[in-house]
Amino acid sequence: MRFLKCLPLLFALTQAKYVVQNWEITYVTTNRGLDQPPKRGVGVNNQFPLPVIRAELGDVLILNVHNSLDVPTSLHAHGIFQRETNYYDGVYMVTECGIAPGSNFTYEIPLEQSGTYWIHGHTAEQNYDGLQTPLIIYDPNDPYPVDQEYLFAVEDWWPITIQETLEILQEPGGLGSPFVYPPQTLINGEYGNLTQPMHFEPGKTYRIRLVSMMNLPLWEFALDDHEMYVIEVDGVLTKPKLVNVVRLSPGQRVSVLIKAKESIRRNYQYHVTVLDDYVPLIPGVYPAQFDGAVVYHPDAPVDIAQIIPSERFDEMSIESLDYEPALVPDRSIFQNLTYGFTKDEIPSETINLISYRNSKVPSLLSALTTGDRALNPITYGPQTNTQVFKHNDVIEMLLWSPTQLPHPMHLHGHTFQIVETGYTNDTTGEFRRRVPSSDYSPLKRDTVHVPQGEYVVVRFRAYRGVWA
């Protein structure tokens, strides 16, 4: 019987198409074409930007990696569940030891989800220095067919390395600020002011994929005088939702559908606006606006909008396409997302007043080799803040952000329903928002932005594995 059960899987694997990428992870000294000093970044095959990876549902992604850095590296496919391939999740000292300098490793990832994702370094924040690229997985039977699509992958490029940034942030009393060396914005690997036009043809439907590879700021996408419908959030299809603008925080992805106009008598503009509400105002950096052309005819005049919309992304008003009512939790946990100082007055971000530190042994190895002790969170080290869940239990997680910093929160191996939002100082519940308990399919996503002074409640069904 065991042999017979394996036959369908074996057949499926033999039919899969292999999408092979050969990556030598290297240092690349560059300013990415920006008006700032060059720095040592982390690229692939001695170049930037990294190649966009495109595949189809059911393919197998093969990443043959050689590490030419002088430190370990690893890669995480952000948003990919990695069901039964937990060991390819790429989290340093959680699911792997990292790829040692001068050594090779191959990630073999079955692509069982369609949608918009990205791959990035998950050791020593190497994505900060450029190790990141979009991953697009197409579904031949996508319920939202389109005539053409465009991709906007937006990232902030800092003129100092992550190591230099961390040294500044670790100055006693929180007096160090990396904004002395402000970043610039790249769109699809180029300076934002060089953003390319979109060419529209009358009556056609376009999908715009938005990928936030930012380290810090938020950004918005808007297109003048066109209706824009959200149809995908973090790889999860949604019911169409008409919006004026899409706001994304680090790690988030959104797809929108836009129906072109019937006339070619006018051209229009789209806008990428970088913003944040807790960092210092730096002219041309925070906020910054980059305008691109939407071309119907090369000789047509351009309609210039007087007002560019800006608003929060209302996750509570968007439903996932596949109906699943709000899950009923088996267990609830509280995650207090705080910013403060150590006894030496070094700034520190914590969850439940614990500042994360890597385990000395990868957590996945500990889970597989310690028997019953694997069920005790302390086995993985008190500094890891580990939670142990039962497989298939529904977990309700309250993400509480009472201090002056917002927190983008990502859960590996899962999507979660967003079921409640509110303010941490709202003692009456006047501003609390909850999704209906029936006849409603709460939005599912894998990365949520928790603004300062607010909270978000999410629910998910735990799947076996070791996840970050």
Q: What is the DSSP string of 398-445?
A: EEEE-SS--EEEE-TT--EEEEEEEETT-SS-TT-EE--SSS--B-EE
Residue of higher predicted confidence among 7 and 413: 413
pTM, to two decimals? 0.95
Tell me the DSSP string of 329-379.
PSEEEEEEEEEEE-TT--EEEEETTB-----SS-HHHHHHHSGGGGGSGGG
What's the pLDDT tens digit per position in 138-151?
Answer: 999 999 999 999 99
Mean pLDDT to the nearest integer, 440-446: 98
* Residue 281 confidence (pLDDT): 83
Question: What amino acid occupies position 401?
Answer: S
Of 118, 302, 115, 116, the residue nearest 223 (C-alpha): 302
* Residue 8 confidence (pLDDT): 41
Q: Which of 194-208, 331-345, 417-431, 432-446 has the lowest mean pLDDT?
A: 331-345
Please identify which residue in the block is written with the tokens 């599912």. Answer: 444
Q: Is 463 helix (H, G, I), strand (E, B) or coil?
A: coil
- pLDDT above 90 (res 80): yes
* Burial class of residue 56, CB neighbours in 10 A (0-12, 13-18, 19+): middle
Cα of 341 vs its chain's centroid, Å? 27
Q: Which of 176-185, 250-259, 382-391, 434-443 has the lowest mean pLDDT?
A: 176-185
* Residue 13 confidence (pLDDT): 45
Residue of higher predicted confidence among 161 and 403: 161
* Residue 399 confidence (pLDDT): 97
**How many CA atoms lie within 13 Å of 157's alpha carbon, on the beta-carbon side?**
31
Please identify which residue in the block is written with the tokens 């005539």. Answer: 147
Distance between CA atoms of 111 and 137, rounded to whole angstroms?
8
Residue 108: pLDDT band (50, 70, 90) is very high
Please identify which residue in the block is written with the tokens 């930012």. Answer: 214
Mean pLDDT to the nearest integer, 283-291: 89
* Residue 227 confidence (pLDDT): 97
Element housing 41 (H / E): strand 39-44
